[in-house]
Chain A
Amino acid sequence: MAVATGARARKPSKPKDEGVFSRLKGDFANPERRTAYYMVAPVLLLVLLIGLWPVAYAIYLSFLKVLPETAPSFVGLQNYIDMFSDPTFRGAVLNTAIFTILSVALEFVFGIGIALALNRGFTGQGSVRAVALVPWAFPTVVSAVMWRLMYQQQGGIMAYIALKLNLIAGPILASEQATLFAAVIVDVWKTTPFVALLLLAGLQVIPADTYEAARVDGANAWQQFSRITLPLLKPAIAVALLFRTLDAWRVYDLFWAMSDRTLESLSTYVFKGVRISQVDFSVGDAAAVFIFLTSLVLAFIFLKGLGTESSGGG
């Protein structure tokens, strides 16, 4: 207490900061709460060293030209200018945007349907829920390899179905556009169940008597869904959409393995610059910073959409 009043006497102009500081001091005066900081320290240190420091370094590097055998030189925004004027990069942005919008929209629509069904309670519900976990456990890159076998022109079941339905003219994997849609299907297969499980967890915390009351008031099924389920499910929906959107935005494994390294996403563009080309290291790094910043913006938009009603980790 004496420490806290002493701090107040020295810095009278900033009462708010002082509140946090004196509460922190309180934590360190208490042996148990002090131990808490020691307990979280290793994780925070790792995150700082492997996460935050490299990001800061990546941003710094994006303003330099890094070439093998020469000293890096400061080039300002040149890497970003080179990046935006590169048609490959613009193609990568377009592919990634189409992939993200299509896959997240489909996963959400199917996911909410499956979640509502699982929330109903029926014979065999447990088995259906267990099955939903199976695609989640697959390595993405291996799912891509498996689906690519099914998309093959020769003996591939997906190619056969698509041909019979007149959806395609030539081999699926020979066309970049068709491969992009094929990748969307793989992603929908792989992550819809997971979206459904996230939404199901949200549905299960909605009290049953809310529906009871609505039914007594004469609400039909659609009204119950749109007036009760959707608004109360909003936080779970926002979390699921945020998860999936950011995941799709950084898509790498799927494009890489589905198209034998030809279909470009933002992440494959970064990879090729940083790891394969000798001269485009810095442009690749600029694209990495671009993914980081756009991910931040997307996260901000979703959290804003979630609003102040979010239940911040209790």
Chain B
Amino acid sequence: MGKSFENPWMRIAFYAAMVLFVFMTLFPLYWVFKMSIVTPEELFKTPPSLLPTNFDIAPAPYFFTAYETVFADPDFKAAIVNSIVVAGITTVICLAVGSVCAYALARINFVLRTPIQAFILAISFFPAVAIIAPLFLQFQTFGIIGTYWAMIIPDILFALPLTVFLLLAYFRELPAGLEEAAKVDGANIWQAFFRITIPLSAPGVVTTAILTFIFAWNEFLFANTFALDITTQPATVIIPQFATTYTTDFGAQAAASIVVTLPLVALVLIFQRRIVSGLTAGAVK
């Protein structure tokens, strides 16, 4: 409802509230970024200054000492690689099985459609911690504790509802006419899916891939349970440990936090329109 404000004061109050919301949402990101670029003296100054004044400069390519510190840390680099591997494989598997499943749920009217849909959605309400004990014993038997698979396997379970419901929303938006035409021309349902639906819904598939990747990237519980050392530990496990490695080097802790979040923030802002519609589709339909 684009109605205007009758009272100019109401208008001012409304915009003030919106500005406050944006400010509070972005403030921690700004503050931690500020912490990552200033000198230790300024970091510990009381009262803290809102704007950075004394920069802790390092030579290129890092420009600030804190970033040089974290990138010189071999554990940090290894952790980033581990995060990419775990989140990447999880995303590929989720998209492979999830897209086919979402297509059937979107297009074919079979008897168990609604129960299966509800069943998959129910997984997102499921407490992950409930299965760490049995998975631990099981993974011990298989000998995969401390490997990437010990994280990827449970990550798949919890990322799948997100993947399936995002794709379901995109497939439903796509008119079925082209697939129907292909079927009239003799294509079977698999051909219609691979040759028509997937290419046409490419933007939706890319958005889903990004969100699934972010979801797996952010996972902490399974990583903390099943990754034993830096050969597999992802960034979410390593960064909290920095509090003990770099006890007083708040700048390094801040820089590490910025490095792992900025790419996510950038991705989310680029794809924000599609993400909002995809994320909320499952809730209202």
Contacts and interface: CB of A to CB of B under 8 A. Distances in A.
Interface of A: 20, 23-24, 26-27, 31-33, 35-37, 39-40, 42-44, 46-47, 50-51, 53-55, 57-58, 61, 66, 113-114, 117, 119-122, 124, 127-150, 152, 154-157, 160, 189, 193-194, 197-198, 200-202, 205, 208, 211, 235-236, 239-240, 242-243, 246, 249-250, 252-253, 256-257, 260, 266-267, 270-271, 274-275, 281, 284-285, 288-289, 291-292, 295, 299, 311-314
Interface stretch (B69-77, B199-207, B249-257): B249-257
Interface in B256-285: 257, 260-261, 264-265, 267-269, 272, 275-276, 279-281, 283-285
A292 B123 CA distance: 12
A32 B189 contact: yes
Nearest to A43: B101
A252 B129 contact: yes
A239 B283 contact: yes
Interface residues of B, number: 103
A119 B2 CA distance: 8
Nearest to B32: A146
Interface in B6-51: 14-15, 17-18, 21-22, 24-26, 28-29, 31-32, 35, 43-48
A42 B263 CA distance: 32
Contacts of B21: 114, 117, 128, 131
Closest CB pairs A-B (n = 4): A201-B280, A39-B104, A57-B134, A139-B218
A274 to B, nearest CB: 5
A172 to B, nearest CB: 14
Given A24-B111, A243-B125, A288-B129, A141 B138 contact: no
Interface of B: 1-3, 14-15, 17-18, 21-22, 24-26, 28-29, 31-32, 35, 43-48, 97-98, 100-101, 103-105, 108-114, 116-138, 153-154, 156-157, 160, 164, 188-190, 214, 217-218, 220-221, 224-225, 235-236, 239-240, 242-244, 250, 253-254, 257, 260-261, 264-265, 267-269, 272, 275-276, 279-281, 283-285
Contacts, number: 304
Contacts of A44: 116, 119
A295 B125 contact: yes
11 contacts: A46-B97, A47-B123, A134-B269, A138-B264, A150-B28, A198-B280, A235-B284, A249-B127, A252-B129, A252-B221, A291-B127
Given A23-B111, A54-B135, A61-B134, A141 B269 contact: no
A58 B127 contact: no
Nearest to B21: A114
A206 to B, nearest CB: 10
A236 B284 contact: yes
A149 B220 contact: no
A20 B164 CA distance: 25
A27 B110 contact: yes
Given A117-B14, A130-B272, A197-B276, A292 B130 contact: yes
Nearest to B103: A39
Interface hub of B104, B105, B243 (most chain A Cβ within 10 A): B104
Contacts of B43: 155
